[in-house]
């Protein structure tokens, strides 16, 4: 078992917009979804393509509620309006770190088995659980059917995506024997310990405890295995860091020509070096992209590599995908060596708790 200062930093690695006026009646009360022509056409598609019961679907949509607060929240998510510095502070705090240590100690064998089975670093699995739900403590308080129906029919900027996820959700609850009106999640319809969207649940969730059920809502064993499987299926390698901080010699040129606004590895390390980006210790042929963030001490430049794109739980927001450089520094290595020398989980927990109180971590979490 390896728990160290790396956990608090890897959180940062881990550490997704209004309603259509045509859907409102003149008295400003939303038309019930089951009575809307666009929803009825959608129901007909599901009956024809997936052999759903029309009466089952109509009963579900009769109970689905349009949520204006969901439209408001998804229109200005923290990932888009916060600076990198503020986002980093939000994701690294003493409580999250301590709870991660406790979760890791309680599920040591499961996390180690998942790491060995799927080839994913243990700390990455633990960090995702901390980032997404604070180890299962905050899984969302919206009905998923409300979230996906609202976004699929009343949020034009991403209606196509969310209507697809609504279809995946209806297929999922049918397959898993769940009540579509009882499943809870985030305002974007993400569910369970790892905040899987419906398609990710169907394609990547695993029954890791062998009880015949894939349960990432209540079963931490299945959640751990499913997160590791997700990384594996997205070709996580662990060979190189996900991203590294770099020095840029010409900021004006870099901002105009090199800084990437997409999530594609559009260049190579060699190409960036040739333009004055100081990338040390990496093969020139590696695919890469340059990103710019506003941190507490000013502008930061990062070069992202392959594992930057091992998108966990479908979250395609760059700030969640940056791995801080301290993960490979001497302070981490010394802490890990001391930690691995301890014999019992109680001794390990005591040591790691002390680690999190050192000045460096207090500064990071401030």
Which residues belong to the active site? 132
Residue 142: other Cβ atoms inside 10 A: 22
Residue 153: partners with Cβ closer than 8 Å, 6 or more residues away: 20, 23, 33, 36, 38, 39, 42, 159, 163
Buried b / exposed e across 320-334, counting CB within 10 Å, b at 16+? bbbbbebbeeeebee
φ and ψ at residue 245, rounded to 5 degrees:
-75, 145
| Distance separating alpha carbons of residues 360 and 363, to the nearest angstrom | 5
CB 111 within 8 A of CB 103: no
d(CA 174, CA 193): 21
Place of tokens 């997404």: 132
CB of 200 closer than 8 Å to CB of 226: no
């Amino acid at each position: 078992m390896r728990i160290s200062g790396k956990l608090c930093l890897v959180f940062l690695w881990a550490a997704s917009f209004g309603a259509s006026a045509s859907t409102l009646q003149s008295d400003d009360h939303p038309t019930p979804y089951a009575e809307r022509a666009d929803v009825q056409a959608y129901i007909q598609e599901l009956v024809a393509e997936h052999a759903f019961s029309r009466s089952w679907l109509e009963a579900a949509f009769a109970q689905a509620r349009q949520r204006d607060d969901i439209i408001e929240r998804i229109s200005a998510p923290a990932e888009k309006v916060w600076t990198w510095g503020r986002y980093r502070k939000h994701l690294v705090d003493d409580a999250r770190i301590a709870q991660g240590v406790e979760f890791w100690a309680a599920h040591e064998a499961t996390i180690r088995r998942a790491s060995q089975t799927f080839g994913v670093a243990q700390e990455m699995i633990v960090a995702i659980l901390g980032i997404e739900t604070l180890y299962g403590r905050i899984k969302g308080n919206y009905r998923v059917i409300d979230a996906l129906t609202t976004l699929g029919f009343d949020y034009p900027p991403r209606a196509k995506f969310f209507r697809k996820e609504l279809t995946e959700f209806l297929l999922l609850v049918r397959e898993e024997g769940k009540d579509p009106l009882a499943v809870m999640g985030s305002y974007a319809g993400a569910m369970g310990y790892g905040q899987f969207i419906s398609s990710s649940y169907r394609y990547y969730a695993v029954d890791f405890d062998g009880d015949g059920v894939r349960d990432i809502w209540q079963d931490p064993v299945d959640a751990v295995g499913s997160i590791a499987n997700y990384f594996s299926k997205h070709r996580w390698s662990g060979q190189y860091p996900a991203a590294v901080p770099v020095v840029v010699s010409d900021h004006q040129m870099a901002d105009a020509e090199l800084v990437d606004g997409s999530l594609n590895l559009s260049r190579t390390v060699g190409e960036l070096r040739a333009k004055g980006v100081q990338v040390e210790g990496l093969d020139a042929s590696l695919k890469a992209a340059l990103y710019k963030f506003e941190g507490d001490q000013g502008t930061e430049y990062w070069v992202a590599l392959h594992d930057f794109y091992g998108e966990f739980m479908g979250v395609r927001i760059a700030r969640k995908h940056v791995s801080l450089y301290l993960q490979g520094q001497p302070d981490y290595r010394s802490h890990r060596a001391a930690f691995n020398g301890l014999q019992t989980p109680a001794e390990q927990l005591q040591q790691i708790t002390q680690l999190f109180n050192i000045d460096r971590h207090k500064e990071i979490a401030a």
